[in-house]
Amino acid sequence: MRLRNCLLILICLVTTGCASTLAQSPQYFQTIKSVKTIAVMPPEIEVNQVSAGGVTELMDELSDETKARVSSSLKKHLAKRYGYEIVFVDEANLKATKKKQWIRNRALYEAVAYSIFTHGMSNVAISNYPFPTKKENFDYTLGSEISALNEGINADLLLFINGYDYYQTAGQATISFINSLLLGAYTSFPKLMTMSLVSAKSGDVIWFKHFPLEGNLNLRNEKKVDDIIEWFTRDLLQEK
């Protein structure tokens, strides 16, 4: 949640417009040529409700429904595999056999994705984040311990998906509207979705994409979710 609060401040300072949403390591093209198997990890999606007073509540049922939509859409849009073997990892089996590794690497990915977003993307222009080498070298990693998560999956790359959506109750929406009229300030809540290809051996992130901040990230709408996943995957894999 602390990362989310930082993101709320960050989004207010981000330069949008022609912002880049895609980044990849200098080793991407060399690495992808030797890849045979890509494992799609279970998407980590949270849908939160914001009630009057700004209190947020995780909506478990909506989150699970959205995860199912994202998974279904991924299978649809990754059907054209360009010679890659795509494996969809079952979350129930993962929790039964590698629960600790999954929870750890899932949390690591969220932290690394946040770091990439703040330090490694050209759309962030904030003096408090002076790390030009991060943008140039794109040296982000989850660490080699990720190989334990890959045992039994035996993939070359792991595809991580993380996202969170917020929607306001009628009461909170009314408060936000009144504030915008009286104070000229509209209360917004951070929404972000990221996708990354990660080396199953070293943990290095070789490809990263995030949904445009100026876009309409609505993970509660089935058609919108499908459009979002199509956008994410359209340049994910290219023919060898």
Domain boundaries, the chain: 2-9+21-233
Q: How many Å from the N-terminal Cα to the C-terminal Cα in the chain?
A: 40
Q: 147-170 burial by CB neighbour count: b if 16+ within 10 A, else e?
A: eebbeeeebbbbbbbbbbbbbbee
pLDDT in the model for residue 164: 85
| Among 80-89, 124-133, 163-172, the range of highest mean pLDDT | 80-89
Question: Could you tell me the pLDDT band of residue 112, with boundaries at 50, 70 and 90?
Answer: very high
Q: How far apart are CA 227 and CA 230, in angstroms?
A: 5
**pLDDT number for residue 18:** 43
Residue type, 193: M
> Over the stretch 207-216, which tens digit does the pLDDT of each residue have?
999 988 666 7
Q: Is residue 225's pLDDT more than 50?
A: yes
Report, as an integer, the average pLDDT of 144-173.
86
Mean local confidence (pLDDT), 133-152: 88
pLDDT band at 218 (very low <50, low <70, confident <90, very high): confident
3-state secondary structure of 99: helix
Reported as a pLDDT band with limits 50, 70 and 90, residue 126 is very low
Q: For the segment 40-96, what is each residue's pLDDT rounded down to a tens digit?
A: 999 999 988 887 667 778 889 989 999 999 999 999 999 888 889 999 999 999 999
- The length of the chain is 240
Lowest mean pLDDT among 36-40, 158-162, 232-236: 232-236
Those residues with Cβ within 8 angstroms of residue 37's Cβ, 6 or more apart along the chain or in another chain:
84, 85, 86, 87, 154, 155, 156, 157
pLDDT of 50:
80
In this structure, of 90-99, 172-181, 192-201, the range with the lowest mean pLDDT score is 172-181
21 by DSSP, 3-state: which? coil
More confident residue, 23 or 159: 159
- Alpha-carbon span 205 to 209, nearest angstrom: 11
* DSSP per-residue codes, 106-172: HHHHHHHHHHIIIII-TT---TT---HHHHHH---B--TTHHHHHTTT--SEEEEEEEEEEEE-HHH
What pLDDT was estimated at residue 221?
83
- DSSP-assigned letter for residue 42: P
Give the confidence band of 182 by pLDDT, cuts at 50, 70, 90: low
Residue with tokens 């899932």: 106
pLDDT at residue 200 in the model? 97
Pairwise CA distance, residues 72 & 88, whole Å? 10
More confident residue, 182 or 48: 48
What share of the chain in percent tops pLDDT 90?
48
At residue 207, what is the residue type? W
Please state, in angstroms and rounded to a whole number, the distance separating the CA atoms of residues 43 and 23.
Answer: 20
198, two tokens: 């990660």
Structure pTM?
0.82
pLDDT at residue number 137: 79
